[in-house]
Amino acid sequence: MKQFFIPLLLIMPGLVFAQGLFESSVEEVQEQSELNLDFNGYTRGTAWLGSEQYDYGLAFGELAFQGKLEKNRTWLFTDLRFRSGYRFETSFTEMEIKEAYAGFTGEKVDVRLGNQIVSWGRTDGFNPTNNITPEDYFFLTPDPDDQKLSNFMLRFKYRFNAVMELDVIGIPLYRPSVYRFDLFDMGEDVSFGDFVTPERSFKNGSFAVRFNVELPKSGFSFSWFRGYASMYGFDVREIDWSSGSPVITNAGMPYRKNSLGADLSVPIGSWIARTELAFNLVEEDEERIYIPNSDLSYVIGLEHNFGGFNTLLQYIGKYTFNFSDPKTPVLLDPADPVAQLVYANEMICHESLLFNRRIFYQQEETNHAFALSISRSFRYETLQASLSAYYNFTSEEYLLRPELEWKITDGLSAKIGFSLMDGPENSLFSYSGPVMSGGFIQLKAGF
């Protein structure tokens, strides 16, 4: 027995020490492998009502969940929306995967794959360099971020140091912005057919890269995008004369472009100056009326706090290259029925060309607009009043949007306001105003 106990007593301290090391190692592994879950969401009721054309442009209830699950350096993120209600005289129930992607974070590298929303640019509201994220312009809610749509993409970030990074994005499948011009009152003989989607192939994918510098008080970036633009024009797909008068069918048509961009944010005393510009290069084709000319789009903004009123003033401009006034067709022989038919077809295409130019703000060689945003908090930041205004000096279109938000409790808030947009006859805002103008109200509870 002594021969058994003596060696056991001799090795016991070593076993105890080894066990301590093992338990310590297990604890470290468990700590490294611990799952971190960040989960939140909200429920809201929202109504957009009182437009000239629709009593209820949108009225719905929505439940949203956002969650991030992280383990070691890998993680996943998802944003799910469940809503049901009434939209432009039609009932709907839908689930939207706002975002859903997986990622890895290293010391220098980030990789993400899935449905993502990426917003480039440093100016507010008007971002010429933001070519990646399409928008649903007819999702009428008090929160403009609701209109942003995700793209399936592979995103790669490389951090050179604490202030410099390179952002590379590949988008294999094209997703356009959402127009609902079928809602516009443009005459009974004008309709909008299905969007013409590009072939899903590698050659039709999009690529973007951005070099960004983020300093403590300022920042700048340079970017390049190559692919299909999220905004698009319309082509005349069919003119039917069987009824004796023309019945016109238009269809959304995408186009490819290269866009070179830059942005800058810098403090000037108590002011903050932000600017952003994009040089959009398009393979121009006069025969294709839905393709815009190459242009230079730019925004210059100044932000300052005047006695508690946070004020942002922006100038939005555009210069169109190779601009020329479209030639109005001429009826050569009024007595010739064939000449009359040719003239009528040419006039339809001419009017469609003008409509596309309004979409791209290329009605003139230069386009000038101003935007003003003013906001202030009251009652210990439980009330916030804001006013946004936009006026285009070239097209004479305008938008006015006052809003009041009340933070009732930490998790409950209410919003009320209205949006008014209009413009001269046949302008884009004159068509969209009767649909998109109206009052809105929202009650939102977060958790």
DSSP per residue over 228-285, as a string?
A: E-SS-EEEEEEEE-TTSS-EEEEEEE--EEEEEEEEEEEEETTEEEEEEEEEEEE---
In a domain, 20, yes or no: no
pLDDT at residue 284 above 90?
no
pLDDT at residue 43 above 50?
yes
Predicted confidence band of residue 187 (pLDDT cuts 50, 70, 90): confident
Percent over 70 (pLDDT), the chain: 93
Predicted confidence band of residue 33 (pLDDT cuts 50, 70, 90): low
- Residue bearing the bigger pLDDT, 75 or 193: 75
Written as six digits, the tokens of 138 are 């007819």
In a domain, 21, yes or no: no
Predicted confidence band of residue 31 (pLDDT cuts 50, 70, 90): very low
Written as six digits, the tokens of 148 are 């942003």
pTM of the shown model: 0.87
Written as six digits, the tokens of 332 are 């050569």
For residue 320, give the CATH number of its domain.
Answer: 2.40.160.10
The region of weakest confidence among 26-30, 71-75, 260-264, 323-327 is 26-30
Residues 95, 63: Cα–Cα separation, whole Å: 10
Q: Containing domain of residue 329, as a range? A: 35-446
Instruction: State pLDDT tens for residues 407-446.
Output: 999 999 999 999 999 999 989 999 999 999 999 999 999 9
User: DSSP assignment, residue 33?
Assistant: T
- The amino acid sitting at 36 is N
- The amino acid sitting at 315 is Y
Residues 434, 417: Cα–Cα separation, whole Å: 17
In a domain, 22, yes or no: no
Written as six digits, the tokens of 54 are 């629709």
Domain count, the chain: 1
In a domain, 216, yes or no: yes
Q: Is 346 helix (H, G, I), strand (E, B) or coil?
A: helix
In a domain, 3, yes or no: no
In a domain, 28, yes or no: no
Written as six digits, the tokens of 324 are 């020329």
In a domain, 26, yes or no: no
Residues 38, 209: Cα–Cα separation, whole Å: 30
Contacts for 281-287: CB closer than 8 Å, 24+ residues apart: 281/257, 282/255, 282/256, 282/257, 283/256, 284/322
In a domain, 30, yes or no: no
Q: Where are the beta strands (DSSP E) in 382-447?
A: 383-392, 398-407, 412-422, 438-446
Range with the largest mean pLDDT of 175-184, 341-350, 396-405: 396-405
pLDDT at residue 13 above 50?
no
Q: Are the beta carbons of 136 and 144 closer than 8 angstroms?
A: no
Predicted confidence band of residue 399 (pLDDT cuts 50, 70, 90): very high
Predicted confidence band of residue 10 (pLDDT cuts 50, 70, 90): very low
Written as six digits, the tokens of 157 are 């970030």
